[in-house]
């Protein structure tokens, strides 16, 4: 399953890499594509969305599910 998260607080390439690394470390995540210019992370896997959001919150980023 592929889901897109809006990630608030990503301001640079370091932030984007931090988000990608953290999400890839979550069990069940198979692939992550972070788009800094869109402030999004596209996550492929079967991890509950709440776990993805919590992982980013632990890093200081607010994340929500992107609709449409």
Report pTM.
Answer: 0.93
User: What confidence score (pLDDT) does residue 67 get?
Assistant: 72
Least Cα distance to 44 among 15, 19, 23 occurs for: 23
Q: How far apart are the first and last CA of the chain?
A: 15
Q: How many CB atoms lie within 10 A of CB 56?
A: 23
Torsion of CA 33, 8, 15, 23, to 10 degrees: -50
DSSP 58: H
User: What confidence score (pLDDT) does residue 66 get?
Assistant: 86
Residue 68 above 60 pLDDT?
Answer: no
Which domains does the chain possess? 2-65 (3.30.70.100)
CA distances 7 to 2, 34, 59, Å, are 16, 9, 11
pLDDT digits (tens, 9 = 90+) for 8-63: 999 999 999 999 999 999 999 999 999 999 999 999 999 999 999 999 999 999 99
């Amino acid at each position: 399953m592929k889901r897109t998260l809006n990630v608030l607080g990503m301001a640079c390439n370091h932030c984007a890499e931090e988000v990608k690394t953290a999400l890839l470390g979550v069990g069940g995540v198979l692939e992550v594509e972070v788009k800094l210019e869109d402030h999004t992370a596209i996550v492929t896997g079967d991890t509950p969305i709440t776990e993805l959001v919590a992982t980013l919150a632990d890093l200081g980023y607010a994340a929500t599910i992107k609709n449409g």
